[in-house]
A and B are shown apart, each in its own frame.
Chain A
Amino acid sequence: MGLRARHVAHVAEDVRKARLEAASNVISAANRSKVDAVVLAGDIFEHNVVEDRVVHAVIKVLAGSRAPVYILPGNHDALTPDAVFRRASWKQRPEHITVLEGNAAVPIPNTDAVLLPAPLRQKKGMKDPTAGWEGASSLDVIRIGVAHGSLRIEGKHAADDFPIALDAAARAGLDYLALGHWHGQYIHDGRTAYSGAHETTKFGEAGSGQALLVELSSRGAEPRLEPIATGALTWRTVALDLSQGHAPEVAGARELVAQLARPERALLRILTTGLSSEDASSGLEAFRDELQGRGLLHVVIEREDVPRAKAEGRLADIAGSSSLVSSLLEGLSRPAAPGPGVTPEPVRLAARELLSALVMEVWK
């Protein structure tokens, strides 16, 4: 909670509210499934300095859970002296909400299962937080590890990102290892899994906006994992290839948007590629206006298309009769070779666009 949303800055507050809503979805799903416990594997809060307003809002959501709630301090809300979990406001929480502050096993009431927590006490660390569990293998109960960090998968972890051994569950004799940190849901070997962030945080974040319903029937039994959708917002990316003109591509995107159940809860990223014509900019801008008119929460156009070097249509006709226009178009037709004093490409494109607009306005 308390996400910093620079990338969608002008709907940042909406995105933050949606995250609380998604948290409510998690609790509602848990209540519906009559779970024995709700385990939150870290980073409940974005930062330890979030204000009490956020703390109270989270407590209010979690208080709705009928099952006990276990919260592991992650790297964002590490158990430091300033930890949000040490705050007076947090201490006002209901009794069934427990912070896993120590490494000792915590029994889950009314079950024969215990939680083996590995709370984080700092923001970064090179030590495997699950390393201390190896001595706890003598317990003859369902053992559920709860940790926060990155599995040691090549290319998916950093050295100081609390790397967790791939066989951590087996070494500690765990029935299930609940992991937090990665936003996308990821199941490693049937006993180790990231449930994923309960709400998507940015475009292109696959597997987020979910929770995992885990069923452990007995000690040693294979866990049954069921993904539960919890996200409150829809984050979509649409790629448009403008080489064949923008109109057909825009039409396709329009159909896609029409299928959205709740456009007011949708965030759309339009990514353009290919060679674009003179009227592509105006067409895209008109499409953006249309989408915003239809109530989409957020629309962003990311231009990666390249304008055609040669003028076309009316502009080409004008250039044919005006040496001034043809000379300026020629000067802006293609990117300059890199070097000092050369016009940056975005400026060249903007100058080309401005020229086109001014010419059309004068010769209308």
Chain B
Amino acid sequence: MILRRLCVQHFRCFRSPVELQGLGTGIHVIHAPNETGKSSLILAVARALFDRHSTKDREMHLLRPWQTKLSPRVTLEFETGGKRYRLEKAFLDGASSVLDEWTGSRFERLADSQEADALVRGFLVSSVPGNGVTKVGNWGLARLLWLNQSAARYDLPGLDTPLKARLLETVGVAALSNEEQSLLHAMERAYRRFFTPKAGKRVAGSDLEREGARVRELREEAARLTQRLAEIEQLASESMDLGQKQCLLAEERSAHEQQLASLHERIAEEEKLEQQAALREKDVERQRKEWQALDQKQRALLALQQKIAQQEGLRARNEPALKEAQGRVRRAEDGAREARERHKAQQGEVELAEQRVERGRLLEDARASLEAQRKLDALVKQGTRVETGVENARRKAAALKALPDTEVKRAEEVERKLTQALDRLAAQGVEVSFTAESPQRIEWEAQGHTTPHKLTREGQKVFKGVRAGSLRIMGVGEVRVRTAAEEIGKLEAEVEKHRKDLARRLHEHGVDDVVGLRAAWQSQQAVLQELSKYEEARSQFLEDHKVESVEVLREQQREQARKTGTLSAQLNLSREELQTHPFPELKALTEELKARRQEVKVRDKAREEAEGALRTTEQHLKVVTQGRNSAQAAAQALGLELKTQLNTLGLSLEELGAEVARAEAELLRLENMVKGLRAQLPGPEARATFARKRLQDTLERIGGEEKKNQEERIRAQALLEQAAADGLYSRHCEAEEKLALAEASYQRLETRAQAAERLRAMSQAWQDQVNQTFVAPIEEELHARLAYIRGGGRPERLHLDAEFSEARLQTAEGPWPLEGFSWGMREQTLFALRLALGELLARKGPRPEPQLVVLDDALVNTDAARHQRALEVIESAGDSLQILILTAFPERYRTLRGVKEFDLKALASVTATVR
């Protein structure tokens, strides 16, 4: 479909009718500044083509001109299917829709009202609108071919079923019949009964899921009951084992009881012998104790006697050592006294040396202070000189009038312009040449100035560069010349302007000419350079001596003088005496002091050694004295104790020895008797009592096991009976039967789900195959245009899905979604897609016809080179398409050939004026 004529009235900013005539195939640029109705114009076309005339939607009310109740009206004349139509549509108040067909001589009524709306929508394959205004998604072919101003302009257009059918038909692929589409929907429904559409997961809460959950639940229940049954059977088996074990235990117990009865006689004999041996063992024990007591007493007294002898020997050995230690103590006391006296004398020497060193240091400081003061005096003098120079130069500079370099340059520039203007005036103005045949006095008057001249015979005077002048030859007359040339007047004015300007500038600085001005500037520069030199010298001086000002140096000078005065006072010398006073060598004094101190250290060490030796000898004397005294006391105490113990026994040491030997002989005799009795008894493990104990232990163990066995059997029996009472078996049967039913049901559903899944997979594979056949030629057309616009031999191809809802560019790194590219690339792709689809619909398929392509502010993000190539693509499409370009920048499209331009603002204002 293409438009032939368009008239809009009472529509947003178009209060008055605006009409575009003479539309046809080719490129039409409709331009106007922002907010003058370009997009409104396209919206008006869309509302006329796609909306029901009767709609009262709020959005439709917003189309009324601002603060009016006017009803929007649109008239379109268009061609489609080889016929021409006129659509007149009015919305809101007085809503109407009339469609006329051109019969060759006039328009005749074809349909009106809803029928007219439906017919027009059908021309553009527009689906039935919902409530309210028609959304872009229902704009049919316009959705594919119009690049509008909207939020979705960077999105792919998407396809609905009728549009897809139209494109399928265009590229020569059979479209799906209604039944086939219904079948696909039915298969999808069957699939979605069990699976989610995108992820293909099982639908939560579906029959299949519920049945699966039920099967799992029942399986768990059956497994639990099976496990319990197995446990019960295991319990029965254990119970049987326990019964058998009980029998074995009873047999074992009986055998052991018989053995126990046969042991009694042997036990009585063994007990008699055991009693006799026990009595003898008591005798042995008593005798052993007696012997051990005597023997122990004898050993203790002999040890006491030996200790007494040892203490006596020790005392005798300590006497000579005691005398020698006393002598050593006396000698050490003499040595220590002498060392202390020598140390004290040396300390006095050190104090005198320290006093000499201290005075030497003060004299050294005083000498340094005097030197520093002399240096500061010299610096202060030098600084004062530099400061004076700076002050003088500064006074000179202050006396000068400021003359900046720019001012001189400007004056020179004015002089240069004046000279140029004069040259031009001389070249273009009136030139009067006078040659005197005899000496003459003449006057030349130009521009109000009169200049007298004297000429000799044959003398010549030339006056030029004026617009008008008067030559008076004395006694002869006056010659007036002038020219009416406008340029000369302008030149004169320019010369006068420059002359005045130059004169003003020179006068301001009191000079006569520009040379004088330059000389004044140079003189000023010399004074400023002198000032700069002095200031630099002062800065250098302060920087060299690291001070901020000369005043700081003077302060340092005063401080130094105070310091020198203090030092001379400490030395008790006047300043004059100090300057002439001899300065001792501080290093020699310090060395002397160091030597004295070293000597004190040596003496101190000798004193400490002597005192240490005295302490050691005194300690030794004390130890030796204590050793002798304690040995003497111990020998006396031990002797007394020995005597006391012997008196208590009433025996001498020799008699005690005889008593010990007798007791030992009696002990041996008794032990031999016990051994004889024990030899008559069997070994411990062979005795009947031992066997009886073992049998009793065994019987006790068997009794315990029997008891435990019995308890376990009772428990097992109780559990078995409980299981039966609980109806475990019936529940198990019931659970397994329910499980069988649920599993069968689940299996049926599972098979159905898999069947639906299989069918869906097959139908999708079939659709993919069909889609590939359908999309490939469109991709080819798109690629040809896009590759050209992108330029630079970009080989990446763009792949579309069959619903035009997704596009991916096949890059070297793999497919990349269009949304991931720049705004420029995206708009170029969508622009190329519009033209590709438009040209396909215009040239191919069973119903080829020119198509309207709208580019409303397209390619705003495209660089100049690509924009130029895009224009070439538009130009080539202009043969088969009607392209409406709406722009605020018409100059961007001036290079297009055969373009029809419409100045929308002008059109609107003309109609408004006419009305």
* Cβ 8 A contact of B729, one of A12, A47, A88, A359: A47
| Across-interface contacts of B727 in A (CB, < 8 A) | 51, 53
The residues of A that contact B762 with a CB separation of less than 8 Å are 327-328, 331-332, 351
Whether A51 pairs with B759 at a CB distance below 8 angstroms is no
User: Which one of B112-120, B553-561, B596-604, B747-755 contacts A?
Assistant: B747-755
CB–CB B736/A346 < 8 A: no
Asked whether, in the complex, the Cβ of A362 is within 8 Å of the Cβ of B186, the reply is yes
User: B766 an interface residue at 8 Å Cβ cutoff?
Assistant: yes
B265 lies within 8 A of chain A by Cβ: no
Known: A4-B737, A82-B720. Contact between A51 and B729, CB under 8 A?
A: yes
Nearest CB to that of B229 among chain A residues? Answer: A49
Q: Decide yes or no whether B580 CB sits under 8 A from chain A.
A: no
| Contact status B180-A322, CB under 8 Å | yes
Contact (Cβ within 8 A) A354 B756? yes
In the complex, what's the smallest C-beta–C-beta distance from A285 to chain B, in angstroms? 13
Interface SS of B by simple majority: helix
Residues of A near B240 (CB, < 8 A) are 80-81
Contact string against A for B residues 704-723, beta-carbon threshold 8 Å, 1 for contact and 0 otherwise: 00000000010011001101
- Chain B residues with Cβ below 8 Å from A4 are 732-733, 736-737
Q: Mark A336-364, 1 if CB is under 8 A from B, else 0.
A: 00000001101110110111001101110
Nearest A residue to B180 by beta-carbon distance? A324
Given the known inter-chain contacts A81-B720, A324-B176, please indicate yes or no for A350 contacting B751, CB distance below 8 A: yes
Do B766 and A87 touch (CB < 8 A)? Answer: no
Instruction: Give the interface centre of B713, B734, B754 by most chain A CB atoms within 10 Å.
Output: B754
Q: How many Å lie between the Cα of A322 and that of B239 in the bound state?
A: 74
| Cβ-defined contact, B190 with A50, below 8 A | no
Tell me if A9 is interfacial: C-beta within 8 Å of chain B.
yes
Residues of A within 8 A of B177 (CB): 322
Please determine whether B738 and A9 come into contact, CB atoms closer than 8 angstroms. yes
Q: B432 at the A/B interface (Cβ < 8 Å)? A: no
**How far is A82 from B728 in the complex, measured between Cα atoms in Å?**
13
CB pair A324–B763 under 8 Å, yes or no, is: yes
Asked if residues A347 and B725 are in contact (CB atoms below 8 Å), the reply is no
Contact between chains at A6 and B740 (CB < 8 Å) = yes
Smallest distance from the beta carbon of A75 to chain B beta carbons, Å? Answer: 13
- A50–B724 CB distance below 8 A: yes
Segment at the A interface, from B50-58, B230-238, B275-283:
B230-238
Q: Tell me which residues across on chain B come within 8 A of A54, comparing CB atoms.
A: 730
- Say whether A308 faces chain B, with CB atoms less than 8 Å apart: no
Closest to A325 in B: B183
Q: Does B758 contact A (CB under 8 A)?
A: yes
| Bound-state Cα–Cα, A5 to B733, Å | 7
| A81 lies within 8 A of B758 (CB) | no
Q: Complex Cα distance A7/B182, Å? A: 41
Chain A interface, >50% SS class: helix
Closest to B184 in A: A324
Q: Is B427 an interface residue (CB 8 A)?
A: no
A195-208, CB under 8 A of B: which get 1 and which 0? 00000000000000
A154 to chain B, nearest CB (A): 31
Q: A347 contacts which chain B residues (CB < 8 A)?
A: 751, 754-755, 758
Q: Mark B60-88, 1 if CB is under 8 A from A, else 0.
A: 00000000000000000000000000000
A48 within 8 A of B: yes
A81 touches B717 (CB 8 A): yes
Q: Is A68 an interface residue (CB 8 A)?
A: no
- Whether A353 and B741, one on each chain, are in contact in the complex, defined by CB atoms closer than 8 angstroms, is no
Contact A81 B730 (CB under 8 A): no
Least distance between B174 CB and chain A CB atoms (Å): 7
User: Does B179 touch A at the CB level, under 8 Å?
Assistant: yes
- B231 to chain A: closest CB distance in Å? 11
A residues 33-84 near B (Cβ < 8 Å) are 46-54, 80-82, 84
B23 beta carbon closer than 8 Å to chain A: no
- Map CB proximity to A onto B167-179 as digits: 1 under 8 Å, 0 otherwise: 0000000101101
CA distance A363 to B180 in the complex (A): 9
| A1-31 contact mask (Cβ, 8 Å, vs B): 1 or 0 | 0111111011010000000000000000000
Say whether B740 contacts A7, CB under 8 Å.
yes
Q: Is the CB of A362 within 8 A of B179?
A: yes
Q: Are B759 and A5 in contact (CB under 8 A)?
A: no
A52 and B729 contact, CB distance less than 8 A = no
> Does B657 lie at the interface of the complex (its beta carbon under 8 Å from any beta carbon of A)?
no
Task: Determine whether A92 belongs to the interface, using a CB cutoff of 8 Å to chain B.
Answer: no
Please state if A6 and B729 are interface contacts (CB–CB under 8 Å): no
Is A110 part of the contact surface with B, judged by Cβ < 8 Å? no
Contacts of B229 in A (CB 8 A): 47, 49
Bound form: Cα–Cα A47–B732 in Å: 11
List, in ascending order, chain A residues with CB within 8 A of B740's CB: 6-7, 9
Q: How far is the CB of B168 from chain A (nearest CB, A)?
A: 13
CB distance B730 to A2 under 8 Å? yes
Bound together, the chains give a CA A316 to CA B179 distance in angstroms of 15
Contacts of A12 in B (CB 8 A): 733-734, 737
Task: Give A121's nearest chain B residue, CB to CB.
Answer: B240
Q: How far is the CA of A6 from the CA of B742 in the complex (A)?
A: 11
> Please, how many angstroms separate the alpha-carbon atoms of A9 and B720 in the complex?
27
Shortest CB distance A9–B (Å): 4
Question: B890 in the interface, Cβ–Cβ < 8 Å?
Answer: no
* Chain B 344-385 near chain A by CB (<8 Å), digits 1 or 0: 000000000000000000000000000000000000000000
Identify the closest chain B residue to A361 (Cβ).
B186
State in angstroms the CA–CA spacing of A4 and B225 once bound together: 13
Q: Is B787 an interface residue (CB 8 A)?
A: no
Nearest CB in chain A to that of B747: its residue: A346
A143 to B124, CA, bound (A): 104
In the bound complex, residues from chain A placing their C-beta under 8 Å from that of B180 are 322, 324-325
Contact A49/B183 with A82-B720, A328-B762 known, Cβ cut-off 8 Å: no
Which residues on A sit within 8 Å (CB–CB) of B730?
A: 2, 50-51, 53-54
B236 contacts A82, CB within 8 Å? yes
Contact A322–B755 (Cβ < 8 Å): no
A13 to B596, alpha carbons, bound, how many Å? 128
Residues of chain A within 8 A of B721, CB atoms compared = 87-88
**Judging by beta carbons under 8 Å apart, are A6 and B737 in contact?**
yes
* B233: A residues at CB distance < 8 A: 82, 123
Considering only CB atoms, which chain B residue lies closest to A12 in the complex? Answer: B737
Interface 1/0s, chain A 117-133, versus B by CB < 8 A? 00000010000000000
| Complex Cα spacing A252 to B508, Å | 139
Cα distance A362–B755 when bound, in Å? 18
Say yes or no: is A323 at the interface (Cβ < 8 Å to chain B): yes
Check A328–B182 contact: CB distance below 8 A: no
Cβ of B200 to closest chain A Cβ, rounded Å: 16
Chain A nearest Cβ from B157, distance in angstroms: 26
Residues in B whose Cβ lies below 8 Å from that of A331? 762
Which partner residue on chain B sits nearest A50 by CB separation?
B729
Tell me which residues across on chain B come within 8 A of A361, comparing CB atoms: 186
Asked if A348 and B232 make an inter-chain contact with CB atoms under 8 angstroms apart, the answer reads: no
- Residues on B with C-beta less than 8 A from A325 are 180, 183
State whether the Cβ of B187 lies closer than 8 Å to any Cβ in chain A.
Answer: yes
**In chain B, what residue has the closest Cβ to A358?**
B186
- Residue numbers in A under 8 Å from B766 (CB-CB): 324, 327-328
A10 shortest CB reach to chain B, Å: 6
The verdict on B137 contacting chain A, using a C-beta distance below 8 Å, is no
- Closest Cβ–Cβ distance, residue B232 to chain A (whole Å): 6
With both chains docked as a complex, state the minimum distance between the C-beta of B720 and any C-beta of chain A, in angstroms. 4
Selected contact of A353 from candidates B183, B236, B755, CB within 8 Å: B755
Residues 4-37 of chain B, each 1 if its beta carbon lies under 8 Å from chain A, else 0:
0000000000000000000000000000000000
Contacts of A350 in B (CB 8 A): 751-752, 754-755
For the complex of A and B, the 6 pairs showing the least CB-CB separation, nearest first, are A350-B755, A82-B236, A9-B737, A351-B755, A81-B239, A82-B720
- Other A-B contacts than A6-B736, A351-B754, A354-B759, 15 sampled, CB-CB below 8 A, are A2-B733, A12-B734, A46-B729, A51-B725, A51-B727, A54-B730, A81-B236, A82-B723, A328-B763, A347-B754, A350-B754, A351-B755, A358-B183, A362-B179, A363-B179
B contact residues vs A (CB 8 Å cutoff): 174, 176-177, 179-180, 182-184, 186-187, 190, 229, 232-233, 235-237, 239-240, 243, 713, 716-717, 720-721, 723-730, 732-734, 736-741, 751-752, 754-756, 758-759, 762-763, 766
